Amino acid sequence: MHKIAASWPIAKNIVAFTTLREGGASAGQYQSFNTGLHVGDHPAAVQSNRDLLLAEMGLTDAQWLEQVHGTQCIKATRDKLVATADACWTDEADLACIIMTADCLPVAINQGTNIAVAHAGWRGLLSGVLESSLQHFDLTDTNIWLGPAIGASAFEVGEEVRTLFIADNQATAAAFVAAKQPGKWFADLYQLARIRLVACGVDPQRIYGGEHCTFQQSEKFYSYRRDGSTGRMATVIYRTEYS
């Protein structure tokens, strides 16, 4: 399993990362470390990848989600059940919170013993998935890591998307650049997330990451925009009992 570790200065017993597409059992367009059971890949291959993920973390418990581009943030459990939500959090040690992406923005959150991870595509960002997730944290010392997502030069959206964001928060106008085609705009998911996080009260100096583009880096990342039928990376956060 290959991964990109979160680039943030927090306690050593907090572990956060995004898996890359290398080092797994999946084949074809899902090659090779696909963690998504819902994308058409062979279930046995996906389960093998998920088992390897847990084994390399040295954990037995993880919360997997059925993501629906919504706003619900649930508390992770150890019962092995898949919950319908787009974020999860925990204050327990040795329990991994996991979301899956292939262009959408994964957001890892840490404050003290509390950790969370959120699946934030444009719909989730606009609807409030980050605000929902942050309810479980004291924002005065909360740290955020923005994991790999589609970059600002590749994420083209229509005028209706831009209008919705600006109607919600005028500051988000800065996150859109006009494309050559009339009525089309390039949207910066990273900047949109930062604007919303700061509006919630997160210290901008505590927001890290945001340097990758899943669309352009095909050797590392799955990208739904680029490939259509493809796999999913996992973004994981957990804490061990001791630092």
Specify the fold of 3-151+202-239. Answer: CNF1/YfiH-like putative cysteine hydrolases (3.60.140)
Contact 67, 100 (CB under 8 A): yes
pTM of the model: 0.97
Side chain identity, residue 121: G
Overall residue count recorded for the chain in this entry: 243
Residue 241: its pLDDT value, please? 85
Low-confidence ranges of the chain (pLDDT < 50): none
Q: 66 in helix, strand or coil? A: strand
How many angstroms separate the CA atoms of 6 and 176, rounded? 26
- pLDDT tens digits for 46-72? 999 999 999 999 999 999 999 999 999
Complete edge-to-edge strand list for the sheet that includes strand 156-158: 156-158, 184-187, 176-178
